[in-house]
């Protein structure tokens, strides 16, 4: 099954009535054939995709609904982006720029307004500069994690990137502009952006920082520049198209190891939260530590269709207990990396062992162990083809390591990611409910019709905030017939993201509806409780800022000033949407 | 001499012709008597100062020139600020808000446009909230370092602020909004701001972060909020009046010590720069380490008038050698703090001793040594009143500690500042050229007529960037007849500030002119060499962004959108100044 059957039926559209039409008229403006010809003249015929079937395929999403774009255009340079923006202003066409459009679970490349022209920046993909002495690079929006890591490994192996456990072919800048989070001490991706080049909605090219374009020596070393600090307004927004930016990198540390820990008793979660906060405020923990529940691990390690559950789509407590045992999964598991001089790493290991082992266990992985595991795993897997050997191996692993082969496989992937080497391994979780087998490479859950919506609330890092909230979410997930999937990502010493995936089978209309209803239910709870998502997707922009009308009004004022024709992603984060 | 004689003569005004008049007309608009009455109704008669002599005194600056305001007004609440903004819009009066106006060397409370109404926020000075668990506070703009530290010491001794070595009665938020730099790992003051309340130039009160006003639980824990990150546009700008903000604090560490190091051979400066960058990129050095040259120390330890130099205002190489010997000052000296668990502090001491002692020496100060030195110093100083004892003591100190009494006095002040306890001790450097004795407390170099202009360039932290630049600046200082004063402040692992003070005697017209000419000379060098100041004062806004017209145009667009009547600090950072 290479094509997704569900998606051969058109997806339902978002209700457009009244809500997201343009202020310039009641019907959304779309590009006529003349415009498409002009576009082809700008970027070349090969770089405009307007055949409906192709457009449909490229516009696929993992979230329940989408809007169909008019066409996809792939400019090859900043100058071409400027020409496209000029064209859009001339003809009042709506543009929907995205870097690579692999923002699965938040909307991928789907625009907020039907008929928009999606401007994909993936061809603008050069690593323009690497400064080893000062550990930064200047890159274009089409640069992917995979490409960036490979480029550095080849030319500047002493510099490491920070990647996510998401798609390796996702855009580094795209993620940073959505203020995504990674893994290492450089995991606040927007926090590590320093210096942007932006094409404004009126077509001018500007550079942040307050210095001469292409001539400011601190452009990529001093984040705030001189004068107002403007970079923030180009994140989670629609005020410009970032065509270049500086990004801080990690110099290869003298020593590095990753670690995984397990929490055997879910009841000790509050104690764990207090430990995290204390260690982070002390500066011991500076990475974006991840803590995931059992359901997250199941989605990575297996697929529902392989677990003999009949048609059942919900794991009961009994099922969960069985899967925990089968894969040797704890109620909570976490992990991160340690970077520094040999002494620093030794000291941190000592502290983390003291602090985390008491919840269950902690295992460190260094280069030696990594090579051992990756060398042994293929052998073990081959031996396991024999059913008797399989039983014996699994039993041995369980007794000696308290682990499953599947869990052993995950550890080296974690070791890789924590040093900036991206992998598709964890992205495969999106196929947990899929009827197709998890693909081995070139994963595209949107094209493959997986159902996935991210709900990404952020909370103060306290027991008082987290415990009742997670209880509530778990209860809502279960009330809507979904298993509770939560990955806690430490944003900083004071805040943590409780990232939740709603995984659904989009072939089942009732499930698709329940997924949507659960999402709406969770979002409305946030608004009633003084909470917010650290990052949002197209699925919730109609509801955004209901509680912050002054904030929305201010953003709309900025939008009107910078984008008088409202051609750039109107409605993104609700900004520029008709009131 | 309690009053400054130089300032009894009116200071020369900045040339206003054509350059900084308002776009609304050719003559600056100023508040008529009716407006002043209205103002008095808003804030109470006692809180409006419009008598010319009082206004003159409050408007004093340490920089060469100033503009005279029409009056000073001291609102007592955010609601009053909003009423003042409304009044300004009604009557087209220019407002010049400042927190406490102790921004000496950058312009203090002097407005950019003659006749503006200076709105001082010092009465809005509550600590609104302190969260010990999450280590943050919410404060108003009138809160000073002194007051903030005292408040925490009394109510929440387990939280430390980050202060500067500038005025203790300076505003914590004022400094952060100008993106000032402190000392500890929380020394990027704007970087530690999280959540702002802002009165817009049209009078609305907004809150950043994208949540409900006064109801967003992550407002002070998650810096970026949801939707566009807007806080940056309210720094070094004139787009709003910040009336409240969250600020991250340091939980009292398990262990703390400060250190001072000396570099005996100025020729090893390049090696030192490489060491700093390496240690910072490794994450060993996370504070805003300071490195100062001998001239800085002289201005702190003594005054020119006490050094028997006759009328001479410039220290020759011979004078410098003599003073270095007298006060036991090295060509370069530096210092910072270490914070963490006992193990962390022990490890860092070891690393820093290894890395820095080889340049000369490094001395650590912990609580025990601090108490010892502060207990002994008064005794030693008393004994030194006897000339014979003085000689003996000085010789002993020199032989045993390679130190002077004056240098010993500086060490505990450094220890204090590095744990957030502000002191006026270092501010007294502004009196180096003054004919009055350094005051012991309530220092106000502006009122006292000291001459001081800050020049605050920021550079990439590399030898290639720093060495030729410092050589150039030293040469220019000396060409204009000033001793080269430079304090290097580590902004981050990739950038360093080369903060330079032009200290001049404002009673001497030629010196005042030379001070101005030197400043202009230095600024124009920056623009020709792709450099910038991390922070600027009123003395250079007419020249700002000469090389970045697109950046200025964008800021002016934002300004016009948010402040249609251009009433809020027009011309600040050149934004909203007539083109």
8 Å CB contact of A343 and B339: no
Q: Residue B312, class by beta-carbon neighbours within 10 Å (0-12 exposed, 13-18 middle, 19+ buried)?
A: exposed
8 Å CB contact of A548 and B460: no
Instruction: Please list, residue by residue across A18-29, b when 16 or more beta carbons sit within 10 angstroms of its beta carbon and e when fewer do.
Output: eebbbeeeeebb
**Which residue from B153, B85, B154 is spatially nearest to B119, judged by alpha carbons?**
B85
Kindly list the residues from chain B whose CB atom is less than 8 angstroms away from the CB atom of residue A287: none
Task: Report in angstroms the alpha-carbon separations of A10 from A50, A139, B108.
Answer: 17, 37, 64
Nearest chain B CA: its distance from A123 CA (Å): 26
Window from A53-62, A99-108, A369-378, A450-459 with minimum mean pLDDT: A99-108
∠ CA B135-B141-B143, nearest 5°, is 65
Predicted confidence (pLDDT) per residue in A446-472, tens digit: 999 999 999 999 999 999 999 999 999
**Which residue from A497, A501, A487, A486 is spatially nearest to A461, judged by alpha carbons?**
A497
Q: Is B154 helix (H, G, I), strand (E, B) or coil?
A: helix
> Any CB–CB contact under 8 A between A349 and chain B?
no
Nearest chain B CA: its distance from A232 CA (Å): 4
Decide if pLDDT at A5 tops 60.
no
How do the pLDDT tens digits run along chain B, 579 residues long? 333 333 333 333 333 322 333 334 444 456 777 899 999 999 999 999 999 999 999 999 999 999 999 999 999 999 999 999 999 999 999 999 999 989 899 988 999 999 999 999 999 999 999 999 999 999 999 999 999 999 999 999 999 999 999 999 999 999 999 999 999 999 999 999 999 999 999 999 999 999 999 999 999 999 999 999 999 999 999 999 999 999 999 999 999 999 999 999 999 999 999 999 999 999 999 999 999 999 999 999 999 999 988 888 999 999 999 999 999 999 999 999 999 999 999 999 999 999 999 999 999 999 999 999 999 999 999 999 999 999 999 999 999 999 999 999 999 999 999 999 999 999 999 999 999 999 988 899 999 999 999 999 999 999 999 999 999 999 999 999 999 999 999 999 999 999 999 999 999 999 999 999 999 999 999 999 999 999 999 999 999 999 999 999 999 999 999 999 999 999 999 999 987
Kindly list the residues from chain B whose CB atom is less than 8 angstroms away from the CB atom of residue A239: 228
Give mean pLDDT, residues A357-382: 95
Determine the Cα–Cα distance for residues A144 and A140; give it in Å rounded to an integer: 9
DSSP label at residue A448? T
Nearest chain A CA: its distance from B281 CA (Å): 7
Determine the Cα–Cα distance for residues A562 and B383; give it in Å rounded to an integer: 69
Give mean pLDDT, residues A383-402: 93
8 Å CB contact of A216 and B530: yes
pLDDT at A30: 67
Kindly list the residues from chain B whose CB atom is less than 8 angstroms away from the CB atom of residue A253: 282
Cross-chain CB nearest to B531 (options A213, A217, A574): A217
Nearest chain B CA: its distance from A505 CA (Å): 29
Nearest chain A Cα to B131, which residue? A494
Decide if pLDDT at A6 tops 50.
no
Q: What is the DSSP string of A134-195?
A: TTEEEE-TT-BHHHHHHHHHHH-TTEE----SS-TTSBHHHHHHTT-B-SSTT-BTTTTEEE
Question: Would you place residue A3 in the very low, low, confident or very high pLDDT band (cuts 50, 70, 90)?
Answer: very low
**Which residue from B279, B203, B292, B187 is spatially nearest to B243, judged by alpha carbons?**
B203
8 Å CB contact of B460 and A190: no
8 Å CB contact of A531 and B217: yes
pTM of the model: 0.94
Nearest chain B CA: its distance from A75 CA (Å): 23
Question: Would you place residue A499 in the very low, low, confident or very high pLDDT band (cuts 50, 70, 90)?
Answer: very high
Kindly list the residues from chain B whose CB atom is less than 8 angstroms away from the CB atom of residue A208: 551
Nearest chain B CA: its distance from A213 CA (Å): 7
Nearest chain A Cα to B190, which residue? A224
Helix axes A367-383, A387-401, angle to 10 degrees: 150
Determine the Cα–Cα distance for residues B481 and A544; give it in Å rounded to an integer: 60
> Any CB–CB contact under 8 A between A560 and chain B?
yes
Kindly list the residues from chain B whose CB atom is less than 8 angstroms away from the CB atom of residue A344: 283-284, 347
8 Å CB contact of B228 and A236: yes
Give mean pLDDT, residues A305-330: 94
Cross-chain CB nearest to B550 (options A206, A229, A536): A206
Please enumerate in sequence order all residues whose Cβ is within 8 A of that of A489, keeping only pairs 6 or more positions apart, or say none: A181, A288, A289, A290, A496, A497, A499
Nearest chain B Cα to A134, which residue? B494
Nearest chain B Cα to A225, which residue? B534
Decide if pLDDT at A7 tops 60.
no
Nearest chain B Cα to A178, which residue? B227
> Any CB–CB contact under 8 A between A224 and chain B?
yes
Q: How far is CA B317 from the centre of its chain?
A: 29
Determine the Cα–Cα distance for residues B221 and A378; give it in Å rounded to an integer: 45
pLDDT at B165: 94
8 Å CB contact of A222 and B491: yes
For an interface test with B, give the residue of A554, A568, A571, A577 to mutate (most B CBs within 10 A): A554
8 Å CB contact of A495 and B221: yes
Question: Would you place residue A299 in the very low, low, confident or very high pLDDT band (cuts 50, 70, 90)?
Answer: very high
Please enumerate in sequence order all residues whose Cβ is within 8 A of that of A481, keeping only pairs 6 or more positions apart, or say none: A313, A314, A511, A514
Determine the Cα–Cα distance for residues B100 and B147; give it in Å rounded to an integer: 13
Contact B198, B240 (CB under 8 A): yes
> Any CB–CB contact under 8 A between B293 and chain A?
no
Contact A136, A194 (CB under 8 A): yes
Give mean pLDDT, residues A365-385: 95
DSSP label at residue B208? T
Decide if pLDDT at A318 tops 80.
yes
Task: Report in angstroms the alpha-carbon separations of B532 from A150, B239, B459, B487.
Answer: 34, 22, 8, 16
Decide if pLDDT at A31 tops 90.
no
8 Å CB contact of B232 and A224: yes
- Number of inter-chain CB pairs under 8 A, A vs B: 297
Contact B447, B58 (CB under 8 A): no
> Any CB–CB contact under 8 A between A339 and chain B?
yes
Nearest chain B Cα to A552, which residue? B210
Cross-chain CB nearest to A550 (options B135, B213, B232): B213
Nearest chain B Cα to A555, which residue? B228
For an interface test with B, give the residue of A221, A256, A346, A489 to mutate (most B CBs within 10 A): A221
Contact A167, A102 (CB under 8 A): yes
Q: Is B526 helix (H, G, I), strand (E, B) or coil?
A: helix
pLDDT at A27: 45
A 236-265 residues with CB < 8 A to B: 236-237, 239, 248, 251, 253-254
Cross-chain CB nearest to B204 (options A253, A550, A574): A550
Nearest chain B Cα to A458, which residue? B218
Window from A307-311, A554-558, B25-29, B182-186 with minimum mean pLDDT: B25-29
Kindly list the residues from chain B whose CB atom is less than 8 angstroms away from the CB atom of residue A547: 211-212, 215
Cα Rg of chain B, angstroms? 24
Determine the Cα–Cα distance for residues A105 and A112; give it in Å rounded to an integer: 14
Predicted confidence (pLDDT) per residue in A164-182, tens digit: 999 999 999 999 999 999 9
Determine the Cα–Cα distance for residues A300 and A315; give it in Å rounded to an integer: 15
A 190-219 residues with CB < 8 A to B: 190, 194, 200, 204-213, 215-218
Task: Report in angstroms the alpha-carbon separations of A65 from A13, A504, A516, B96, B370.
Answer: 6, 13, 9, 50, 66
Phi, then psi, of B529 in degrees rounded to 5: -125, 25
Contact A78, A32 (CB under 8 A): no
Nearest chain B Cα to A536, which residue? B226
8 Å CB contact of B228 and A179: no
Cross-chain CB nearest to A561 (options B216, B547, B561): B561
């Amino acid at each position: 099954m290479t094509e997704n059957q569900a998606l051969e039926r058109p997806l339902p559209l978002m209700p457009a009535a009244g809500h997201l039409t343009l202020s310039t008229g009641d019907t959304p403006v779309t590009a006529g054939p003349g415009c498409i010809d002009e576009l082809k003249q700008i970027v070349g015929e090969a770089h405009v995709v307007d055949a409906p079937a192709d457009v449909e395929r490229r516009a696929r999403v993992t979230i329940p609904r989408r809007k169909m774009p008019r066409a996809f255009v792939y400019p090859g340079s900043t100058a071409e982006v400027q020409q496209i923006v000029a064209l859009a202003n001339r003809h009042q066409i709506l543009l929907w720029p995205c870097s690579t459009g692999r923002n699965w679970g938040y909307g991928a490349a789907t625009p907020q307004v039907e008929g928009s022209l999606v401007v994909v920046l993936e061809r603008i993909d050069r690593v323009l500069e690497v400064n080893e002495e000062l550990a930064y690079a200047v890159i274009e929006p089409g640069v992917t994690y995979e490409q960036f890591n490979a480029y550095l490994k080849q030319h500047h192996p002493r510099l490491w990137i920070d990647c996510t456990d998401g798609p390796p072919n996702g855009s580094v800048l795209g993620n940073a502009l959505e203020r995504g989070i990674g893994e290492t001490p450089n995991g606040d991706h927007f926090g590590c952006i320093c210096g942007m080049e932006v094409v404004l909605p009126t077509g001018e090219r500007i550079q942040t920082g307050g210095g001469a374009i292409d001539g400011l020596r601190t452009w990529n070393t001093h984040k705030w520049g001189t004068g107002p600090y403007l970079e923030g307004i180009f994140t989670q927004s629609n005020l410009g198209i970032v065509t270049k930016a500086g990004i801080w990198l990690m110099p290869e540390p003298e020593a590095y190891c990753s670690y995984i820990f397990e929490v055997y008793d879910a009841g000790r979660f509050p104690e764990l939260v207090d430990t995290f906060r204390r260690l982070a405020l002390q500066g011991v923990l500076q990475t974006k530590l991840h803590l995931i529940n059992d359901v997250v691990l199941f989605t990575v390690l297996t697929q529902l269709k392989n677990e003999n559950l009949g048609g059942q789509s919900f794991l009961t407590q009994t099922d969960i207990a069985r899967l925990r045992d089968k894969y040797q999964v704890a109620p909570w598991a976490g992990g991160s990396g340690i970077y520094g001089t040999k002494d620093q790493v030794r000291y941190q290991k000592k502290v983390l062992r003291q602090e985390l082992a008491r919840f269950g266990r902690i295992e460190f992985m260094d280069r030696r162990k990594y090579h051992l595991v990756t060398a042994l795993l293929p052998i073990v897997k081959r031996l396991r083809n024999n059913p008797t050997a399989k039983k014996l191996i699994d039993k041995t692993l369980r007794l000696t390591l308290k682990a499953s082969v599947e869990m052993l496989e995950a550890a080296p992937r974690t070791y890789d990611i924590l040093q900036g080497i991206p992998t598709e391994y964890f992205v495969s979780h999106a196929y947990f409910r899929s009827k197709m087998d998890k693909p081995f490479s070139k994963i595209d859950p949107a094209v493959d019709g997986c159902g996935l919506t991210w709900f990404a609330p952020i909370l103060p890092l306290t027991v008082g905030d987290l415990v009742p909230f997670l209880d509530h979410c778990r209860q809502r997930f279960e009330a809507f017939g979904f298993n509770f999937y939560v990955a806690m990502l430490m944003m900083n010493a004071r805040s943590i993201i409780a990232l939740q995936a709603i995984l659904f089978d989009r072939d089942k209309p009732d499930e698709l509806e329940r997924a949507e209803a659960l999402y709406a239910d969770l979002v409305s709870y946030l608004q009633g409780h003084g909470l917010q998502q650290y990052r949002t997707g197209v699925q919730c922009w109609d509801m955004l800022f209901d509680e912050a009308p002054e904030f929305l009004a201010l953003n709309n004022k900025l939008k009107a000033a910078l984008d008088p024709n409202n051609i750039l992603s109107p409605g993104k984060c609700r900004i520029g949407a008709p009131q």
